[in-house]
């Protein structure tokens, strides 16, 4: 890590698509291993880490519903996809020597723990990485909202959102050549301008609880450690003065 960590406890939100690597679907072992190494470098410096992972690389509830599937069933399928990703990430983290626990909002006693807030906090205090699976356990809520909720419940210092670009832009920079990149935004900036960072429910929850959000590029080597130290390229979203 470039400098001493700026944050004591962080939640990192990973998209399911971020685990695909160059694939069009599913999981890429090399990508999982690289992300696990990034997390290991942060944990080694005494930072307590927890994760929420999306399921879009396997199944996305909203897109399933748009194709005629009943929304509640589609969302539950999406939650199960996040459990698959969480177990894959758990395996990758343990291969690099970290102790982990997966806690699911939908009880699955044979494969992981149920979500219990105090137990999760205790795991992190012991240096374990906790992966929160199955979203909030409720349909109609995204994994972005789940990440904001768990970050608040865990008393995290910051929510770190890993994306495909190095911060928040006015439009998708892969599609819009002159998209503007922001170094700093307020929660109201994000909501008023409908910036595609996280859904409005997640942004509102972070705003209500004064939880800053850092957005950085998942694919830049060492970026997670730099962000946790307050360095590197990222966009910070926090309450305005």
Q: Which residues are annotated as a binding site for UMP?
A: 55, 75, 136-143
Q: Which residue is it, tokens 């356990």?
A: 137
Closest CA to 112 of 149, 85, 139: 85
CA 157 – CA 127 distance, rounded (Å)? 16
Sheet with 100-104: list strands edge to edge. Answer: 113-114, 100-104, 129-133, 48-53, 9-14, 158-163, 213-217, 235-238, 184-186
CB-based contact 33:72 (threshold 8 Å): no
Annotated binding site: 13-16, 55-56, 60, 75, 136-143, 163-164, 169, 172
Burial class (CB in 10 A: 0-12, 13-18, 19+), 132: buried
Residue 158: partners with Cβ closer than 8 Å, 6 or more residues away: 7, 10, 11, 151, 211, 212, 213, 214
CA angle, 222 as apex, 198 and 87 as ends, to 5°? Answer: 60
How open is the CA angle 234-235-236, to the nearest 5 degrees? 120
Closest by CA position to 19, among listed 7, 36, 2, 31: 31
Q: Where is the binding site for ATP, in residues?
A: 13-16, 56, 60, 163-164, 169, 172
């Amino acid at each position: 890590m470039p400098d001493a960590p700026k944050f004591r406890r962080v939640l990192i939100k990973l998209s399911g698509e971020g685990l695909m690597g160059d694939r069009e679907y599913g999981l890429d072992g090399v990508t999982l291993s690289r992300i696990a190494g990034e997390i290991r470098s942060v944990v080694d410096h005494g930072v307590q880490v927890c994760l929420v992972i999306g399921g879009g690389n396997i199944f996305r509830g909203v897109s399933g519903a748009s194709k005629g599937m009943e929304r509640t069933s589609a969302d539950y399928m999406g939650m199960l996809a996040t459990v698959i990703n969480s177990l894959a990430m758990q395996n990758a983290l343990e291969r690099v020597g970290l102790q982990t626990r997966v806690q699911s909002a939908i009880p699955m006693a044979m494969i992981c723990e149920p979500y219990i807030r105090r137990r999760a906090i205790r795991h992190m205090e012991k240096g374990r990485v906790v992966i929160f699976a199955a979203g909030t356990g409720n349909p109609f809520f995204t994994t972005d909202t789940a990440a904001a909720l768990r970050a608040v419940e865990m008393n995290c210092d910051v929510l770190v959102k890993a994306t495909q670009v190095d911060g928040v832009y006015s439009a998708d920079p892969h599609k819009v050549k002159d998209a503007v990149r922001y170094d700093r935004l307020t929660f109201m900036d994000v909501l008023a301008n409908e910036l595609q960072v996280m859904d409005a429910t997640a942004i509102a929850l972070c705003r209500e609880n004064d939880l800053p959000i850092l957005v950085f590029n998942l694919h830049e080597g060492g970026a997670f450690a730099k962000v946790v130290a307050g360095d590197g390229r990222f966009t910070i979203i926090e309450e305005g003065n």
